[in-house]
Amino acid sequence: MTDGFERETKITVQELPAALEAVLFAHGDPISCERLCEITQMPKEAVEETLERMMKDYETNPWGGLLIRKADDAYVMCTKPSMKPVLERLYAPRTRPPMSQATYETLAVIAYNQPVTRAQIEAVRGVSSDSIVSRLIERGLVEECGTLEAPGRPALFRTTQQFLLEFGISSVSEMPAMELMMYKTIRDLQDSLETAAGNKDDRQISIETWMDDQKGEEANES
């Protein structure tokens, strides 16, 4: 009876794209390649090749509003960034407020130093970041990933698959170099936020300032 069931559910290579599309659509969240192989009963190479082809097809389809994205070794079906204005109108009552300068800085510290403790985050920023870390966890961009082998066993934090999806990368290894990220993204972001707010919190140092200080210290040591 089991053999009969397996024969009935086994799919062909030609049916694989449709099967993967159906699974990704129905699942909603990122699903590992290993799990997709189990579901489709197809070898990993065939699944990965099919998904790569599908990703290109979705991306180049001018009439479609969906994409297939890869995050680490997982895949997910999501909407195209260009559809954001439409979706914002759909979910307007539940739209989350934009992240602040301090939140982006804290996220950058975690992303470029993960896994990292709260104390290490605060050492970079110079101010308490407890509430910001909590908000990043609530937004699904950061998660706990164990504890540090040190007195008090402080929690360690890292970015999530949701972070990769929202920032359009497949792995943290694809993030731009630290200096490029600061000078082209964080600094511009800080300037625009300060202009919009009409003020600046002098108690808060930027990642850029911290890195400049570090370079100065290294130069003095040499």
Domain locations in the chain as residue ranges: 10-82, 101-217
- Per-residue pLDDT 10s for the chain (222 aa) are 444 444 456 789 899 999 999 999 999 889 999 999 999 999 999 999 999 999 999 999 999 999 999 888 899 999 888 888 888 777 765 556 777 888 888 888 888 888 889 888 888 888 888 888 988 998 889 999 888 887 888 889 999 988 888 877 788 877 776 654 443 444 444 454 344 444 444 434 444 454 455 455 555 555
Write down the pLDDT at residue 167.
Answer: 78
Q: What is the pLDDT of residue 21?
A: 95
Q: What is the pLDDT of residue 124?
A: 81
* DSSP calls for 111-125: HHH-SB-HHHHHHHH
Whether pTM > 0.75 for this model: the answer is no
Provide the residue type at 35 as one letter: R
Largest CA distance in the chain: 76
Q: Which CATH number fits domain 101-217: 3.40.630.30, 3.40.50.150, 1.10.10.10, 2.60.120.1440?
A: 1.10.10.10
Q: With CA atoms as reference, report the closest residue to 102 among 213, 203, 14.
A: 203
CATH topology assigned to domain 10-82: Arc Repressor Mutant, subunit A (1.10.10)
Hey, do 10-82 and 101-217 end up sharing a CATH topology, with the first three levels equal?
yes
The pLDDT value recorded for residue 187 is: 47
